[in-house]
Chain A
Amino acid sequence: MIMKTGTMRLGAALAAAAFSLAGSAWADPAPGQYNIGIISDDTGPLAAAGISYHRGADLAIEEINANGFAGEGVTLNLLVKDSATDAARAVQAMTQFAADRTVLATTCCIITPIAGALSPIAMNNNLPLVIYGATREGLPQEPYVTSVVALPGPQEVMMSERLASELKPKRVAYYTTGDNDIFLARAHAVKAVFEEAGAETVAEISTLANDTDFTGPATQGMGTNPDVIMVMTTQQPAVGIISALRQRGYEGLIGTSEVISPPAIYQKSGDLIEGIPFALSFQPGLSDSPEATTFIEAYQAKYNELPDVYSAQGYTAIHYIAQGMKAIDGEPTREKLAEEMWKITSIDHNLYGGQEIVNGQAQIPETLIVNWNSDGEVALWENQ
C-alpha cells in the first residue's frame, strides 16, 4: 500500500517537476511536505534484507510525521525506486532523484559497489545520501554522503574475546566468503582474536557467496576436529554451512554473525541454529528502550512479523535525515540539510540506546551477544 501511494505521489512529483515553470518547483509541494528518495532492493538477489530496510524506513516516516520529529508542521514523504540490487538501475534512480528538485535527501545501498557508484552522483548534485547497509572505510564524504551503519568488526571481536576466554578452545576452524572482502576482513578479525588467545587455526575454509551445497565444506571442517567453528560468511552460506554441520552431526560450538538474526531465518532453520552465538545491536525481545519498544510494536502491528537488524538500520537512516531537517532554519535546501546532518554527532532517536556519528560515519552502538533459544526467541547467550 505504502509503495502504491508512494509511486502515485512520485508520478505527481515528476509531472510537477517536468511541467512547472521556472522557480515554481519550490513552492509546489504542500507547505512543509518534503520528499526523500529511497533506492530500495525490493526485488533481486538481496530482496529478503532489502524489504526489511524499506519497511524500517517506512515506519520511521510514519512516526516522524505523526510526532513532528522533523520540525513543527514538517512532514516527510518517501519516494521509492527499486534497483533490484543492479548498479545500472541504481545509478539511473539516483540521477532521477537528483533531477527532481523536490527530493531533499536520499537513502540507499546494501552493497558497497552500488554505494560506491552512487556517492559521486550525490556529491555532484549536492544531494544528501545516507547509506544504510553497505560498509567500507572511507564511504562517507563531506558533507553529502553519510553512513548510519557502523563498520563491522568490533562486535565480533568482542564476542570472540568472550568465547575465547570462556570456552578456551584449542582448535578453531573458520568459514569465510572468499569473494566478499567485507566478510573476509570480518573473519580475519575474529581469527586474530582466537589466535591471540592461543587457539590453533585448524582450517580456514573458503566458500563463495553464491554457493548452495556445503556438504563438502562441512565434511572438510569436521575432519579437522575443531572445538569451535566460526562461520563468518554472508547470509545464505552461513545458514547452509550451519545446517550442513549440524546435519552431519557436529555437536561442538558454532559462532557466527548477525546474518542469522532475522526471524525468517529461524522460521526456516529452526532447531539447527539454536544456541549459536552472534553479536548485534538491535534485537526484538532484548532491545527495550522506549524507542525500540514502540518500533517493535508498530512493526508487528503493520507487517505481522518482528523487525530485524536491517529494518532497524533503514529506520535509523530516516531518523538521521529528520534530525537534520529539524535543525534547519528557514526553507530547507539540500545544501542546508547536508550541512546540518554533517554536524550531527549523535542520532537522538535510535533503537540502540545511543548512536554516535563521527564525520558522517556511525560508530558501533551497544553490543549484544545473543542466540536463538528453543522457544524461538533471541536471548542473551550464556555458556552452557
Chain B
Amino acid sequence: MEAILDFWAAYSATIAFGLVNSFIALSCYAVLSAGVLSFTTVMFAAVGGFVAAQMIGMFALPPLVAFLFAGVAGGVAAAVIAVIFLRLETHWMALASLALVLITRVVVLNTPTLTGGVQGMLVPVRVSVLELFLALAVTAFVFYRMHNSWYGLVSRAVREDPSVASTMGISTYRVQFIAFLISGAVGGIGGAALATTLQFISADTYFLALAFTMIASTVLGGSFHWFGPIVGAFVFTALPTTMQAVLPEIQDVAKGVVLLVIMILLPRGLVDPRVLKLRLSRSPKTAEQPDA
C-alpha cells in the first residue's frame, strides 16, 4: 500500500499532464478525423486557459465549472476561425493554423488586462487528478458515441476522399465546421486543464511546444481512432521522465529517436483500428480463413 501511495505521489503530476495532454490531443484529433491538419487547438487552448483563469480569479469557481466556460469559449473561438479557415485549401490551412499559433502569442503578450501580458497569470486553484480523470472520461465517452454515429461515419468518408464524399451528398464544409466546433470545445477544456494544473500560465504556455506535443501525441497514438490520441498523450508525456531515468545525458536526443522509430515502424500510430480488425479477424472463430 505504501509503495502504491509513494508511486502515486511521485507520478501523480505526470499522470495529470498525461490527462491534460489527452484533451489537447483529442482536440487535434477532432479536426484531423475530418481531414483537416490544423494547429488551431493551441489558440483554443489559450482562449480556454485564460477564460478559466479569469473566471476562477474573479468568481472563485470550482475547476470543473470553469472547464465548462472554457469549453464554450473555445467553441466560440473555433466557430470564428472555422469560417475563415475553411475557405482555404488544405495545405494553406495547415500553414495558416501554424501562423495562428504565432499570432496567439503576440495577442496574449499585448492584452495584459486579459492575460497578464508579459507577467502571465497565477491560477489560485489546482484541479485534482480525479477531476481531470472524470472530465476526460466524459469527453472520451462523447468521442466514443460520435465514432459510432452518423457524424463519425461521414467524417471518415470526408477524410478518406472528400470528392467521393461530396458525390454521396455529404457537405464537406458542414462536417469540417462541426469538427472545428468539437475541436474548439475540447481544446478550450484542455487549455483550462493545463492552466489549473500548472497554476501559472503565460504566453509561452500556449505556444509552439504545445503545438508539437499535441500533433506528436495524436499521430504517435494513432489518428484513426479516438483512443489513439489518449494513448499517445500519455506516451509522449511520460517519455521525457522515462528518458531522464534511463539516459540522463542524452534524454532529449533519446526522446526524439524514440519518436522517430515509432513513426517509421508504425506510421499509423500505436492504436490502429485496421490492425485491431485484422487481429479480431484472426481470432479462433475465423482462423481457418487466411487473409481475412
Contacts and interface: CB of A to CB of B under 8 A. Distances in A.
A200 interface: no
B241 A95 contact: no
Contacts of A94: 13
Interface residues of A, number: 39
B118 A179 contact: yes
B6 A17 contact: yes
A43 interface: yes
Interface string B172-199: 0000000000000000000000000111
B126 A7 contact: no
Contacts, number: 86
Nearest to B122: A116
A46 to B, nearest CB: 12
A159 B14 CA distance: 46
A334 interface: no
A94 B10 CA distance: 9
Contact of A95 (B9, B209, B244, B252): B9
A95 B10 contact: yes
A184 B117 CA distance: 13
A14 B109 contact: no
Contact of A100 (B1, B10, B205): B10
B244 A21 contact: no
A92 B245 CA distance: 13
Contact of A3 (B7, B10, B12, B248): B248
Interface in A170-190: 178-181, 184
Interface in B240-266: 240-241, 244-245, 248-249, 251-252
A113 B203 CA distance: 11
Instruction: Name A's interface SS.
Output: helix
B79 to A, nearest CB: 29
B217 interface: no
A271 interface: no
Given A113-B120, A120-B199, A181-B118, A3 B249 contact: yes
A18 B7 contact: yes
A259 B249 CA distance: 27
B17 interface: yes
B249 A95 contact: no
Given A21-B2, A43-B252, A87-B205, A95 B118 contact: no
B200 interface: yes
A113 B9 contact: no
Contacts of A179: 109, 118, 203
Contacts of A92: 13-14, 17, 241
Interface of A: 3-4, 7, 10-11, 14, 17-22, 43, 80-82, 84, 86-89, 91-92, 94-96, 98-101, 113, 116-117, 120, 178-181, 184
7 contacts: A4-B248, A19-B3, A80-B248, A92-B14, A96-B13, A101-B6, A181-B118
